[in-house]
Chain A
Amino acid sequence: MQNNLLSGLKEHENKLLTIWSQLLIDGGSDDGAVEEEESKEFASLFLKAAAAAEGKIQDSQEFEKVEDLIVGIASSRGKRGFSPRENAQYLITFKEAASKILSELIKDPEQLFDANLQLNAALDNMTILTFEAFMRGREDIISRQVDEISEISTPVITVWEGVVALPIIGTLDSSRTQIVMENLLQQIVDTGSSIAILDISGVPAVDSLVAQHLIKTVSATRLMGAECIISGIRPEIAQTVVHLGIDLTGIITKASLASALKTAFDMLQLSVVKRKIV
């Protein structure tokens, strides 16, 4: 088993930090105070692990903490807008600084070579970890955005007392339909509405699945004692639906939201009149 050649670094922690931060600033990826705190913590933990290790530093217990820390740093840097390249640069510059100190500490070329090998082995694996952490961070953001999009894209609007409207934009798949239906039914209860308008102007195609979802939503609305109007049926959608053979005869359908609203007013026995100017 090879000796741990990195233990000597611990005594030169401050010097290493100075060189490292200079390299980071030269590389243009310095992030001020947060960066400095993070870097100090990382260097201190890494050197502690290096000093405590008996054989290879990666095998020591302490090293796990270093890995956890770098994963945390990488994802936090990712959120602050650092690229994976900059994250890798962060560790590469650390390696450069440590290597510089090693060459001052170890005079024997063979030993120095081995020491650098140990340093490389320890840090290369960490670089991979930072890539993985970065990817995970991005995936979290994407899945959160997916959730947010599906929520904002199904807003229920009260257009008049007793009338709610729900514009649907995009593809109505099964999971979206579920959200749409729940939102709509809840709003009907909350607002005490008796008419719901489902506007599909923003739906690119109505196939048998979407049609079935629409029919189900209408039935559910009716079960709650409210009426449901489907508006925004574009001419090409109307013709396609007919060719497909979908029967929408039991459903009130309108070409535009405006005409759906007019129908709603009629049902509520309301009328909009132009004011006479006297």
Chain B
Amino acid sequence: MKSRIMTTISNSKEEALIVKEQDVVPLRNRVKEYGVKIGMSILNQTKLITATSELVRNLLKYGGGGKVIIESVSNGRDNGVRVTFIDNGPGIANVELAMKDGYSTGKSLGLGLPGTKRLVNEFDIKTELGNGTTVTITKWKNG
């Protein structure tokens, strides 16, 4: 198994297909369950599900739907939840710009990506024009 951070091991894992707005709430509830299972505080749970909400809405709105992987991870010192959002949409032309507060091509607040980064402990975005976007976030229990 390939892992972005060498020392992090994945304990349990599941995948969900996201194609419509009705898929958002069940996914958020699943992610929350992963947080509850490792004893995450209400505050961190709320940050995690809010971040999930933002990224899954981007995946639907801009990526045209995709796949989400939820994982329970640990790095020896702490346990956490990692969520990966994968779409095969148009990709993002200028990631630096997309990560700026207030930048939106969808007449929205433009807070989804930068806000999510502030809500989680690890944030990684890989995107290529015409080849989709993959965003990975990790929230540690004590992070």
A residues near B (Cβ < 8 Å) are 171, 173-174, 204-209, 211-212, 235-237, 239-240, 243-246
Q: Measured between alpha carbons, how far is A138 from B43 in the docked complex, in Å?
A: 39
Neighbouring B residues of A211 by C-beta, 8 Å: 109
9 further contact pairs, Cβ within 8 A, besides A207-B50, A244-B115, A245-B111: A174-B21, A205-B28, A205-B49, A205-B53, A206-B50, A236-B43, A236-B47, A240-B47, A243-B115
| Contact flag A208-B119 (CB < 8 Å), given A236-B43, A240-B47, A244-B50 | no
Chain B, Cβ-Cβ closest to A173: B21
Q: Measured between alpha carbons, how far is A236 from B101 in the docked complex, in Å?
A: 22
B29-80 residues with Cβ-Cβ distance < 8 A to A are 42-43, 45-47, 49-50, 53-54, 57
Q: Which of A207, A240, A243 has the most CB of B within 10 A?
A: A207
Chain A, Cβ-Cβ closest to B44: A236
B residues near A (Cβ < 8 Å) are 21, 24-25, 28, 42-43, 45-47, 49-50, 53-54, 57, 101, 108-109, 111-112, 114-116, 118-119
Does more than half of chain A's interface fall in helix, strand or loop, or is it mixed? Answer: helix
Would you give 16 A-B contacts (Cβ < 8 Å), ordered by A? A171-B24, A204-B28, A205-B46, A207-B50, A208-B108, A208-B109, A208-B111, A211-B109, A236-B45, A244-B54, A244-B111, A244-B119, A245-B101, A245-B111, A245-B115, A246-B115
Q: Are A246 and B43 in contact (CB under 8 A)?
A: no
